[in-house]
Amino acid sequence: MLSEVYHIIQDDWPLLLIGQYPNGPLGGIAATLLLSVLGISLAFPLGVLVALARISPWLLLRAPATALVYTMRGVPLLVIIFWGYFLVPLLIGRVVPGFVTMVCALVIYEAAFLSEIVRAGIQALPSGQTDAARALGHSHLGAMRYVVLPQALYNMMPSILSQFVSTIKDTTLGYVINVPELTFAANQINNRLLTKPFEVFFLLAVIYYVVCWSLTQLANWLERRIAAKRAGSGGAYRKDLAVQDGQPLPAEL
C-alpha cells in the first residue's frame, strides 16, 4: 500500500502541493495553508473584539455581538458557506470568488467560537486584576489591553489552539464550493485513479495530521517560552537571577 501512496506522490505532487497553478488557480496544500493562515489571522483579532463587545456594558455593542455568536453557534459552517456562495452574489450583484467566500465564512464562524473562549478567559480572571488596574487609573480598554487580555489569552491557549486546529480542518469544506484546496485536489486524483481511494485518502489524512501537528508544536513551544519567562527560569534570565539572589539582602526596612 505504501508503495501505491509513494506512486501517487510521485505522479501528482504538483497537484497536491499547488493545484493547477500557474495554469489555473492556486490549489492543494498551498491553498489549504493560505485559507488557514488567513482564516486564523483574521478570526483571532475579530474574536477578541467580539468577546470585548460581549462583555461590554453598552447594549449597542453587546446585542449584535451576542446575536452573532448565537447565530454562528446554531448554524452549521456548511450552511454559512452556502449562504455566502449563493446569496451574497445575489445581494451585491456581482460574482464572488469561492476562495473569498470561503475565507469570509471561516473568519466569521471561527471568530464567534474564539470569542466565547476569550470571554471565558476574561471572566475567569480574578476581579482583583481589573480592580487593581482601575485603582491605578487605567481606563477600561487600557486594563483590558495590558492587564486582562495578556493573562486571559495565555490561560486559554489550549482552547484557542484547538479552535485554530478546527479552522484548518474546516478549510476542507471549501471543497463543496469548488475551492481547489487540498481535499479538492485529492478528490481529483481519486476520480482519475478510480481504484485507489484508500491510498489517496490515507495520504490526505496524513498531510492534514502533519499540518495540525506542526501548529500544535508551535503553540506548545510558545506556551513553554511564556511559562519559562514568567517562572524566571528562561534563557538569560536565570543567570541574572542566580547572581542577584546570591547577593546579601539589603537591610529590611
Partner 1 sequence: MIEFSHVNKRYGEYHALVDINAQVRKGEVVVVCGPSGSGKSTLIRTVNRLEEIQSGTLTFDGQNVHAKMSSKELNRIRSRIGFVFQSFNLFPHMSALENVMFSPIRLRGLRPADAHDKAMLLLDRVGLVNKSRSYPAQLSGGQQQRVAIARALAMEPPAMLFDEPTSALDPEMVGEVLAVMRSLASEGMTMMCVTHEMAFAREVADRVWFMDAGSILSMAEPNSFFGNPEHPRAQRFLADLRAR
Alpha-helix residue ranges (DSSP H) falling in 125-181: 127-136, 140-143, 149-155, 157-170
Separation between Cα atoms, residue 123 and residue 146, nearest integer Å:
16
Residue 139 or residue 220: which is nearer to partner 1 going by CB? Answer: 139
Using CB under 8 A as the binding rule, whether residue 144 contacts partner 1 is answered as no
We find the least distance from the C-beta atom of residue 123 to partner 1, in angstroms, to be: 17
d(CA 71, CA 75) in angstroms, rounded, equals 6
Give the interface segment with partner 1, choosing from 28-36, 103-111, 145-153, 214-222 (CB under 8 A): 145-153
Q: Of the two residues 218 and 241, which places its CB atom closer to partner 1 in the complex?
A: 241
Q: With binding defined as CB under 8 A, does residue 128 bind partner 1?
A: yes
- Nearest-approach distance from CB 253 to partner 1, in angstroms: 4
Considering only residues 37 to 56 of the shown chain, the ones binding partner 1 according to CB under 8 A are none
Whole-number CA gyration radius for the chain: 23
Q: In which residue are the cell numbers 500500500 written?
A: 1
Interface with partner 1 (CB under 8 A), residue total 33
For residue 2, report the phi and psi dihedrals to the nearest 5 degrees: -60, -30
Asked if residue 222 binds partner 1 (CB under 8 A), the reply is no
Question: How far is Cα 166 from Cα 192, in angstroms, rounded to an integer?
Answer: 29
Site for partner 1 contains 252 (CB under 8 A): yes
Residue 242 touching partner 1 (CB under 8 A) = no
Q: How far is CA 161 from CA 23, 164, 213, 222, in A?
A: 35, 5, 11, 11
Minimum CB separation of residue 237 from partner 1 in Å reads 7
- Determine the 3-state secondary structure of 179 from DSSP: coil
* Contact range with partner 1 by CB under 8 A, out of 11-19, 35-43, 122-130, 187-195: 122-130
Q: Collapsing DSSP states into helix, strand and coil, what is residue 19?
A: strand
By CB under 8 A, residue 139 contacts partner 1? yes
- Give the SS3 label for residue 41: helix
Judged by the rule CB under 8 A, the positions of this chain that interact with partner 1 are 126, 128-129, 131-140, 142, 146-147, 150-151, 154, 230-232, 237, 240-241, 244-245, 247, 249-253
